[in-house]
Structure 1
């Protein structure tokens, strides 16, 4: 595998998407792929935006859906200073030891020929850098603090095209209550219509969610690897999805991918040595006839010895 030298030492470059560090569950890979492909099949055009990229796993995936003429922008602090103490503490705790722009770019270029437009800084710079009503898909996975997430949602609402999709990460994790409050507040008070929720992400739109929900239910109904719960809350249909042994959608290998060495062919088992022939028992001497036994028993010893001697002499003569 190829390597890159960074400030933290030599790092192996990814061969497949799963080699890239980060949190991008298989179910969300399926949903990203389905939503983006559905837009493309419908002829929808618009730019892509990801706020908070970490090491690039989901950014790489999004980049595979960039159509000709579209722009792709990503934003992250990387090594930059956080805008406030709370954000700095959060970044230092979770990312600062590993997150560098160089590492992200090396991972991204392992799969794509060109980098997206990279904004290095807090997410508050996005509204001044991305045009209003320009994006068809926005993924928000940056700060978990309420004030920042509130601002990211506001930016997404302004940046998205009518019917565009926003995805909010960590909307229900126990360690991210700020995201939960900002996300559901947007649903209750700011016109965001939920499309579905996965284990980690909320998918929504400021357009009509019903057509895409109907299409999603049809797609999920054809699968046996996804749990489905269809609920109602505060006047919204909430489709909850959970992976059931789901496999990730196909994704191209990186430029560093090498085929695994073929396993050596199994060697034939040695033929067991032929067993030595069992020794044959010596043939038993033919039993003496009853007449002979009777003669031996009845004749006088002198005569018997004479007969034996005569037979011995006869055998000796035959052997000369």
Structure 2
């Protein structure tokens, strides 16, 4: 092993937010809310994550694992990709940091036992190794290539139990059109029903969408600092939820109520790519702190 290949021990994270990744506040809250709601309703079932990176979302999922349930994580980690396109994607985005050893160290900083780890392409799950109708929640955040995501969605459909929820990452990012194509194909052709959306993730079900949406409506998201809106989509009512970061900045002037904000500005922030949206919100917070921000 050359010096360039030497494996170093990753630092132990003190909080889940110390783990690198792209798992933001709104999605952390929705994951916790949905999983807690399932447990409170007596809904049992396994959890599954396709694509784990360094474990930031897996750590949260593991906290909601109930006795008798199984948590399965499937990721290539540092294995070879199954095709040239996926190999190029891994080399560009992950290979320098994505190792199973790092994932396991991060996960064990918060849990006493590892989940069931399948180090392989997510396509292997199509062989039925995760039983049909066994899961209550599936998170898909693996490849961004259309063919892979479309296959992952079909796996989720097969393993989800009645009223189970699937969360799909990067459904609207400009650099991941393959995810968008697979998600909307599932809505229009595979019967996936939209429940809610954040700037990063799409949440849907093949079960009773109204039960989840009824409780979403009942919560005071705006009062808790989130932006909340209703959207009519393909004959379904779904909800858009995002964290209003202005309320998390102590030095900023009090934010206007969501209903009072400029409609044009709200729409612009919602449709911009996530990285541009976050930059715009930072600029607006800075302007508010100077007393110069528009309403």
**TM-score, scaled to structure 2:** 0.80
Contact 1:13 1:107 in 2 (8 A): yes
> Distance in 1 between the 2:247 and 2:96 partners?
31
Secondary structure at 1:195 match in 2: strand
Structure-2 change in CA distance of 1:72 and 1:224 (3 Å): closer
Q: CA deviation digits over 1:214-262, x for unaligned, max 9?
A: 21011135624111121112211121111113899xxxxxxxxxxxxxx
Q: What secondary structure does 2:44 align onto?
A: coil
Q: Specify which structure has the higher proportion of helix.
A: 2
Q: CA separation of 1:106/1:247 partners in 2, compared to 1, >3 Å: closer, same or farther?
A: farther
Rounded to whole Å, the distance in 1 between the matches of 2:57 and 2:168 is: 13
User: 2:24 is matched with which residue?
Assistant: 25
Structure 2 match to 1:132: 132
- The aligned counterpart of 1:216 is 216
Q: Deviations over 1:86-143 (max 9, x none)?
A: 0000001100010000000000000000000000010001133211110000000000
- 3-state SS in 1 of match to 2:242: strand
Which contiguous aligned blocks of 4+ residues in structure 1 show a shift greater than 6 angstroms? none
Over the aligned positions, Cα root-mean-square deviation in angstroms equals 1.6
1:184-263 alignment runs, 5 A limit: 184-221=184-221, 223-245=223-245
Q: Which has the higher contact order (CA 8 A, sep 6+)?
A: 1
Q: Is the 8 A contact 1:145 1:179 kept in 2?
A: yes
Cα drift, residue 157 of structure 1: 0.3
Question: How far off is 1:69 after superposition?
Answer: 0.4
Q: Which runs of 5+ in 2 are unaligned?
A: 249-295
Deviation at 1:79, TM superposition (A): 1.2
Indicate the residue corresponding to 1:298 in structure 2.
none
Structure 2 SS opposite 1:15:
coil
Q: Which residue of 2 aligns with 1:285?
A: none
Gaps of at least 5 residues in structure 1 are: 1-5, 249-320
In structure 2, do the counterparts of structure 1 residues 78 and 246 end up closer, same or farther at CA, with 3 Å as the change threshold?
farther
Aligned residues between the structures? 243
- Residue 232 and residue 13 in structure 1: after superposition, are their counterparts in 2 closer, same or farther (change >3 A)? same
Aligned to 1:83: 82
Q: Call closer, same or farther: CA 1:165–1:216 in 2, change over 3 Å.
A: same
Given the superposition, is the C-alpha separation of residues 147 and 220 from structure 1 closer, same or farther in structure 2, using an over 3 Å criterion?
Answer: farther
Bigger Cα Rg: 1
SS at match of 2:185: helix
What residue in structure 2 maps to residue 294 of structure 1? none
Mapped to 2, the partners of 1:186 and 1:48 lie a distance apart of: 21
- Paired residue secondary structure (2:105): helix
Whether the 8 Å CA contact 2:10–2:105 is kept in 1: the answer is no
